[in-house]
Structures are given as structure tokens and as C-alpha cells.
Amino acid sequence: MAMHVSGACFSVFSGRRVSRIRAVASEDFATVKTGEEKVKLGGSDLKVTKLGIGAWSWGDTSYWNNFEWDDRKLKAAKAAFDTSLDNGITFIDTAEVYGSRASFGAINSETLLGRFIKERKEKDPGVEVAVATKFAALPWRFGRQSVITALKDSLCRLGLSSVELYQLHWPGIWGNEGYIDGLGDAVEQGLVKAVGVSNYSEKRLREAYDKLKKRGIPLASNQVNYSLIYRAPEQNGVKAACDELGITVIAYSPIAQGALTGKYTPENTPTGPRGRIYTPEFLTKLQPLLNRIKEIGESYGKTPTQVSLNWLIAQDNVVPIPGAKNEEQAAEFAGALGWRLTEEEVNELHSTASEIEPVIGFPVEKL
């Protein structure tokens, strides 16, 4: 478990802005620690819960929270964190760029997560949290030392001496070999337990895997946009390459930023930037899939959200990290664990989803 450190933190931008196993349906998923069973990330020694929590929205005002951040949302995020841990979900994913805009009350997500961990440990010293964060491949960052410098700044904001997983958030315009060297250095310096990448193509993934392998360091994960209605990792070779090489897929936006929860309809679309992605036309085409997800969920006593997450978990080499903004969402996510869709149901949902033209995603939607 990473220990707390103190000291001044420096800006991340250097001054710039920029198969049926049915659970008992009547079990209360919010009172059972369903996340305790863990899986290894790729070929690393790191074990994490089968489902994690994404902290992209914590402190953010550029994509989430209707472009404002206040005490009410802060308390809700803290409740999401505590509820996740209460239910045994201890894998939390953040990044140095989340909430980094110093406007509209934004607070860096790493800073918030570090605060939440500190407050929790004061009440429960034995609590363990597996923290994953990411390096921003900004154009002015060069070489392997830039990775170590950024990581140490992240550790300072988190109040930790190490993190469990450190990832390259996206490929850089240049300097990618140096970034991979920096990941290896971070492992050898004991600053991280495992390393991964995010938004990497099959070609870049293989290159990173081979470069780290020469140093005897496994590439643990590739974090990508993946859900029933965004299946690009299956279509572009990324999922197959991860399965072949023993690299875990970490799925962000696993419920398609809320589109798979069933709460949005052609008459009730998401607000903000999501409204430009999940349009009334797309949500109309999505209804047959949502209806089938709901039907399957009812047979298990589960919600559409839980079915959509379990669809990913059932593939065995995928760890979804839905974003939890409040206690209710975190408790619902926990209900995706402790049971499993059949192989027939997994295939049926995939087939039904394949009839829908995948929603257009964009690689910088997490930045």
C-alpha cells in the first residue's frame, strides 16, 4: 500500500493551460463486499478488483458537472469514493489532466482522490486503495525524464510515495520511445507497481510491449473506450492483441457515458457535450438494444447499467471503470459483480448491438 508523503507540488503543465452463474437476485448488492475477488493486470503482479471506478468527473468543469464545481458535488464525489470502498471496489483511476482547468471552480482529480484516501485512512488505517493515474503526453514534454517528473508531481498531489498503475494517457506527437523508457524507469525506481498505456492502437501497443519486455517489465494494460455501443477495440485489432499478449483491457466509458443506463431517450437526451454524441436519432436506434438489456436484467434482478458492465466483465480480460459521481451510482456499479451473464447472453447482446452503427467516439474525450 502506498504511503503518504508531503512537499510542494508543481504544475502538471509547467505554467501552461492547455456460461450461467446466477447470484441470488434478492441479495442487497449495496451491503455485500462484491468487489473483493481480484484479477491480475496483464503479466504484472498487480491485482485489482474486477471493476474499478473512474474519477474523470471529480473536480472537472470542462466536460462534466455542467461546467461548474461546488461543495455539493465535492461531497457527492467523496460519497462515491467511500461507497465504492464499502462495497469492496478499491481500484480507482484518475489522471493529471482531470479537473486541471483553473476556472469555474475546477479542482484536480488527483488532489481530490488524495484527500479522500487520507480522510479514509484516518478512520480506517488498514484500508487499501489501488490508485491508477496517467501521464499527459503534452507536445512540450520530451524524453524519459519528463515521465518521472510528471509522476512525482502526481504523487505529490495524491499524497503518496507510489501508485499501483501508471499509464501513458495517449500517444505523443513525438518522443514515444522516451515515454516508454520513462515507464520502465518508474518501475525500477519503485514509484509504481505496474505500467500501462491508454488510447493505444494495435501497432503502438505491440511496440510498447516489446520495448518494455526487453527490460523484463510487463505492459499491464491498455485503457480504451469500450462498451456495447463502442466496439472499436474489437474492430481495430486492439482487443485481439491484448488477449494475445496478455495485456488487460481497462474499459473507460463502459456504459457509454450514461447512454446504456436507459435513463436517456430521444425525448430526454444528455446535457452538455454528450448531447452532441448521443443525439435523438441515435437514441432512437438504441432502444431495441436497451429493451433487451432490460429484459435480461430483470431475469437476474439487475439494472441495465449492471448488465452492461457485466457484459464486459464476462469477457475475463476486461476491467471496466465506470465514472461514479455520487453514492447511488457507486452502489449500483457494485451490483455488476458477484454474478455472470451466460455465454449465450453475452453473444446475443453483442449481436444485437452490432446491428447499431457504433456511436462515434473521439480519442481525446478523456483529456
- 166 in active site: no
Catalytic residue selected from 98, 179, 200, 300: 98
Cα end-to-end distance, the chain, whole Å:
28
What distance in Å separates the CA atoms of residue 246 and residue 146, rounded to the nearest whole number? Answer: 28
CA distance linking residue 151 with residue 160, whole number of Å: 11
Q: Which residues are catalytic?
A: 98
